[in-house]
Amino acid sequence: MSSGGGGGGDQGRHGLYHQHGHGQLTRYDGAGGYELSNDDMESFFFSQPEGVGGGVRADEIAPYSSITSYLQGFLDPTGLARHLDVPAKHELSVDVRSHDQDSQGTGSAAGESAALLTPNSSVSFSSGGGDGEGKSRRSKKGRAQEPDDQEDGKDHEDGESSKTANNKPKKKAEKRPRLPRVSFLTKSEVDHLEDGYRWRKYGQKAVKNSPYPRSYYRCTTPKCGVKKRVERSYQDPSTVITTYEGQHTHHSPASLRGSAAHLFMPPGLHGLPPPHLIPPGVFHPELMSMMRMPYPSPNMHLLSVP
DNA sequence: CGCTTTTGACCGGCGC
DNA sequence: GCGCCGGTCAAAAGCG
């Protein structure tokens, strides 16, 4: 993997670089997965012809190269019009489940989902619990001290935050409750999709059944402990699986200019019904709001619009 | 100069 | 009890 994932291949720079890709939502047949039929999601998500195999780079991106871009489009009349201009039809699924029982399965969960998914993109919500990995690892070899500890053993969920923060007595009794997780499957050439938040990559690992590595990112905001994993589906190399974990304790930097709230409930979303009017089982805007994750919400809403 | 990425090593949990 | 795997840390390097 010398040049593997991190190989700087993907525009190593963060910031608001564009991402390209075929944004497509797929339906996830996973258990308890909600489905919603849509059809041209990709059209307005990533109006990229299809240079997937070609060599489309993040530079030559479409209007909405990422979930965030798309979201931001909401704030932009033009963008919105774009969306509404397209028949919101596509297949999307929301999977709400708890991962409190799996440890590795979790990771695979996303992978499996990807495998089962159709060449579009899907979103799966996973209601877990508290955090788990971040704090339960504190004591390393010589990592006696934790410099800033951005968020790991900080607070978050409260409760078992003082378990292994510093002490060796790392009790394993904890089933290490996980934070809510949300997985997105997106057709994209780039793995790190811009979502409005600033992330810092802190690790990368090779995925067992996939030739593609999995990258680990953490929100750079000091008190925010949100993490996200990005990996590519081994079955659909063009599909990127992004799993968010935790909830932001702040607003999206990108939304500062437009208030994140708008992302969730655009005042006059021409044609978009209020969250509570969305067909039950289709999406959980509240959950997203809770997690402060604007990314999927709008999309889903749009999708749910006839 | 500061921030982010890269990369190898290590930890902890789980399965066999 | 051992091995495997996922996940995280930390030092170093690169870039704007």
Secondary element (H or E) of residue A202: strand A199-206
CA(A205)–C1'(C7) in Å?
A: 9
Flag residues 3-42 of A with CB < 7 Å from strand B: 3-10, 12-14
CA(A99)–C1'(B14) in Å?
A: 15
Span A44-92, pLDDT tens digits:
333 333 333 333 333 333 334 444 443 343 333 333 333 333 333 333 3
- Closest-lying nucleotide for A199 based on CA to C1': B4
Span A155-187, pLDDT tens digits:
333 333 333 333 333 333 344 556 667 777 777
For residue A77, give the 3-state DSSP assignment.
helix
Q: Please give the protein residue whose CA is closest to the C1' of the nucleotide C16.
A: A13
Distances (CA, A) of A32 to A55, A97, A187: 36, 7, 23
A231: Cβ contacts below 8 Å, ≥ 6 apart? A110, A111, A191, A207, A210, A212, A213, A214, A215, A240, A241
Listed as ranges, the nucleotides of chain C within 7 A of a protein C-beta are: 5-10, 15-16
Listed as ranges, the nucleotides of chain B within 7 A of a protein C-beta are: 3-14
- How many angstroms separate the first and last alpha carbons of chain A? 45
* DSSP secondary structure code for residue A253 in this structure: G
- Closest-lying nucleotide for A173 based on CA to C1': B13
**Gyration radius from chain A CA atoms:** 19
Is the C-beta atom of A257 closer than 7 angstroms to strand B? no
- Closest-lying nucleotide for A149 based on CA to C1': C9
pLDDT in tens, chain A (306 residues): 433 333 333 333 333 333 333 334 343 333 333 333 333 333 333 333 333 333 333 333 333 444 444 334 333 333 333 333 333 333 333 444 444 333 333 333 333 343 333 344 455 554 444 333 333 344 434 443 333 333 333 333 333 333 333 333 333 334 455 666 777 777 777 777 677 788 999 999 988 878 888 999 998 887 777 888 988 887 777 888 888 888 777 766 655 444 333 333 333 333 333 333 333 333 344 445 545 554 443 333 332 333
Distances (CA, A) of A255 to A23, A90, A161, A245, A261: 21, 26, 30, 20, 9
A79-85 contacts, C-beta under 8 A, 24 or more apart:
A80/A266, A80/A269, A80/A270, A82/A44, A83/A44, A83/A302, A84/A270, A84/A271, A85/A44
